[in-house]
């Protein structure tokens, strides 16, 4: 009966089982680098890297399986680099929050996402946030991630006295590893080879082995580390502070619009959208994402969302939920190779951060118009993110400046009551940030 159901689904979408299986393997290869990068970022905030790696694979496996079985769409689900950087770097190292508190903020955002999905209030939120702020948000997170990758590789250093950025020492192993990894990844991406970023990480780690930076594990395969050090360790207390507000917004908006953008873009590539560019039954992938964003922090990592790497499977001909189901089985099998993933140093994962961050900054290409409210807030958001080393501050600056420019420039009609209400606590957050 189940076999007949999937045969009918594949027939309806003009695909076959071998094609779906290949697309699933392609998607897995394109997303496998996240298994290395996400736990590495989270460990920077004090989380146990082995436990975080296990949790990452479990969330990717369960989220992708749910997407395949319930939504029957070729999208994989997993934690994004932006959310991991927000937790492992900004909230823990910049804002000095304990990582369980940061997980609590991520979980609260997931709960909010779920409520809005169930009640159908997504449209109101989409209209509340100006297009310019959405585009600037993606670019700001991209800038933060790319800069983080450069710093991890030693390609950029920070002057302790002036806090100014400067070029690192490229005669050292770290920058050389990152450059080799970048070269390999870019060369393969240009040729649309699946797993290009993963190949770049492996190339950088291989050079690191020759330079004495990468050290092979004594046992490359084995049972996965226990999730105990991160499982269930979330704390809601920090959610109810003014400091949490921009980060709640960051998590929510990133999850919300990442899901919307990924499902529509990948759905179009797979030929699943209608004549108006809409994806039928889009409430299903939204619900899967919302639940993944809620339950991910319970397992010890930022919540999952539909990943843009799903496009690799769509390009390979994937059309049904068998794509994420195949990828899910690969994630489960990868639990036995966690020692290999943990042996890769941060210098080797830096190319992934740089490339992903640079790709996210491409959203700035969509900015248009000559009015200040269309150009100034996104630019100020980028500058604030760079100067404060915090995209929470960048988000607050972007939204507050948008409201201010509209009100001062006689464009008050562009500011909805909801946006004005949101800008007030964000303005107070900026005030406390400046005066602390």
In this predicted model, what pLDDT tens digit does every residue of 426-435 receive, in sequence order?
788 787 766 5
**Mean pLDDT to the nearest integer, 248-253:** 75
Burial of 165 (0-12, 13-18, 19+ CB in 10 A): middle
Q: According to the model, what pLDDT value does residue 258 have?
A: 67
271, two tokens = 């030929």
Q: Is the pLDDT of residue 307 over 90?
A: no
Q: Alpha carbon of 341 to those of 8, 217, 247, 326: distances in Å? A: 39, 10, 29, 21
User: Could you tell me what percent of the chain has a pLDDT over 90?
Assistant: 22
What are 325-346's pLDDT values in tens digits? 999 999 999 999 999 888 889 8
Q: According to the model, what pLDDT value does residue 123 have?
A: 63
Q: According to the model, what pLDDT value does residue 277 have?
A: 63
CB atoms within 10 A of CB 258: 21
Instruction: Give dist(CA 93, CA 149) in Å, integer.
Output: 16
**Mean pLDDT to the nearest integer, 273-285:** 75
Instruction: Give dist(CA 122, CA 204) in Å, integer.
Output: 42
Q: Is the pLDDT of residue 436 over 60?
A: no
Q: According to the model, what pLDDT value does residue 422 have?
A: 77
pTM as predicted: 0.81
What are 72-91's pLDDT values in tens digits? 888 899 998 878 888 888 88
Q: Is the pLDDT of residue 147 over 60?
A: yes
Q: Is the pLDDT of residue 180 over 90?
A: yes
């Amino acid at each position: 009966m189940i076999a007949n159901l999937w045969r009918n689904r594949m027939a309806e979408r003009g695909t076959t089982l071998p094609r779906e299986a290949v697309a699933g393997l392609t998607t897995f290869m394109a997303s496998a680098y996240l298994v290395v990068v996400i736990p590495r970022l989270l460990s920077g905030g004090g989380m146990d890297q082995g436990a975080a790696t296990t949790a990452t694979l479990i969330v990717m496996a369960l989220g992708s399986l749910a997407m395949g079985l319930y939504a029957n769409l070729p999208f994989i689900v997993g934690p994004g680099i932006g959310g991991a950087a927000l937790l492992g770097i900004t909230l823990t190292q910049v804002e000095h929050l304990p990582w369980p508190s940061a997980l609590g903020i991520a979980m609260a955002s997931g709960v909010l996402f779920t409520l809005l999905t169930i009640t159908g209030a997504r449209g109101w939120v989409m209209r509340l946030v100006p297009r310019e702020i959405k585009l600037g948000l993606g670019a700001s997170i991209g800038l933060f991630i790319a800069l983080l990758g450069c710093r991890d590789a030693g390609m950029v250093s920070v002057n302790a006295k002036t806090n100014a950025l400067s070029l690192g020492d490229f005669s050292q192993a770290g920058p050389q590893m990152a450059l080799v990894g970048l070269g390999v990844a870019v060369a393969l991406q240009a040729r649309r080879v699946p797993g290009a970023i993963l190949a770049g990480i492996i190339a950088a780690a291989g050079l690191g082995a020759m330079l004495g930076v990468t050290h092979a594990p004594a046992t490359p395969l084995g049972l996965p580390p226990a999730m105990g050090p991160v499982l269930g360790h979330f704390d809601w207390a920090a959610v109810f502070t003014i400091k949490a507000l921009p980060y709640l917004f960051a998590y929510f908006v990133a999850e919300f619009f990442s899901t919307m953008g990924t499902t529509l873009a990948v759905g179009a590539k797979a030929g699943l959208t209608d004549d108006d560019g809409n994806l039928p039954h889009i409430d299903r992938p939204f619900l899967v994402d919302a639940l993944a964003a809620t339950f991910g922090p319970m397992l010890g990592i930022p919540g999952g969302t539909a990943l843009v790497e799903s496009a690799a499977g769509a390009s390979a001909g994937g059309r049904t939920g068998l794509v994420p189901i195949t990828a899910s089985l690969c994630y489960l099998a990868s639990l036995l190779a966690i020692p290999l993933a943990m042996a890769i140093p941060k210098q080797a994962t830096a190319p992934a951060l740089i490339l992903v961050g640079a790709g996210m900054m491409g959203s700035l290409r969509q900015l248009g118009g000559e009015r200040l409210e269309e150009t100034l807030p996104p630019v100020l958001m980028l500058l604030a993110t760079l100067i404060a080393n915090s995209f929470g501050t960048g988000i607050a600056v972007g939204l507050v400046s948008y409201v201010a420019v509209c009100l001062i420039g006689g464009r008050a009609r562009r500011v909805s009551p909801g946006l004005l209400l949101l800008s007030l606590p964000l303005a107070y957050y900026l005030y406390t940030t400046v005066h602390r």
